[in-house]
Structure 1
Amino acid sequence: MAAHAAPLLIKRYASRRLYNTETSDYVTLEDIATFIRAGREVKIIDLKSGDDLTRQYLLQIIAEHESRGESVLPLDVLTDLVRSYTTSAQSVVPQFLAASFEMLREGQSKMMENMASMPNPMASMPGFDALQRQQQLFLKAMMGGWRGGSGPQPEDEGTAPPSAQAPAASDGPRDMEEIRRQLAELQKRVSKL
């Protein structure tokens, strides 16, 4: 993930079209979701009024994912969120949610660090390095959407043969295809032992 100092500025025109100021082209909500999953901070402003519309569009992205059956938030959590808008708990909920997600990010990062540094008695097994790389790629693919969730890189990636090198974390479904292919190859090797 490339670290960018300033958020990606998206301008909303009167026609409601969204304009990416870095690439000078129009973008969709799905494009914005892709930027965010890749680790970019995004700021969406109304061109005419200058109002910050980021929160509104992020909520719209979440609502679209939820409506397509890609549910992340359980019904009881959504219910509690609605309740928090009408109670005195409103002031506590944002801090609680921010702290919870920060703990999740930290936990994921520590898990990746522990996995990379953990000695394994199977390390002498042929093909173990490739298996360990696959585990790390799998975790990155599963957790890669979380900001700051890339974790440590395998130390010997540059020395692996081209067929075992890790694909870029932003490749999405291609990552999973590569992981499956390499895992099948590794299973064949292990079964021959």
Structure 2
Amino acid sequence: MGPSAFSCPHLSLSAPEINPSVASASRPADPIPMSLKVNLRLLEKESIQLDGDILGSELAPDFHDELMRLSHPVEYELTVDRQSESLLVTGSLRTHVDCECSRCLKSFVLPVQLDEFSVLSPLEGEDALPVDGDFADLTPSVREDILLSLPTNPLCGPDCRGLKPKGQSRELQVREQAEPNKAWSALDNLKL
């Protein structure tokens, strides 16, 4: 096994092998995505516990968003059980996502935590997990749930007011919103 792969009896974190005759010396090689694989033979006997982390950029190398970047590791604590022709994966996933607020464009870090991660993934059929020999790749299931937990429009806070209008200070905006509109004061004093 080469330097691009790690293997133990129940877990394999590996990267695809590179054919040196195809690799070009004129341009740097693209980053090689890692995968989270589990040994199916060991799952026939008992469930497997997996604890560790994988870089978010390796988990979803094709994820491109103007407001979010998966640059922190995704920590996982998983239990994998074989159920007939499916794998039941349960546990928790945690990471942080570098974001820009969709209202004010301020940079912030969004914690993402899936405490009750659970997926039943078939080993055969259209929605089957990728299987290579004795190893099933759990990466697509983990990737899908992490990406589905991300907000469509990340906000630095629920009270974010967005960008300030040109020529107006933030203090003036806050003061104007704090002062009640005097035109309605007569109606506010009405006793019904």
TM-score (norm 1): 0.21
- Which has the larger share of helix? 1
TM-score (norm 2): 0.21
- Which has the larger share of strand? 2
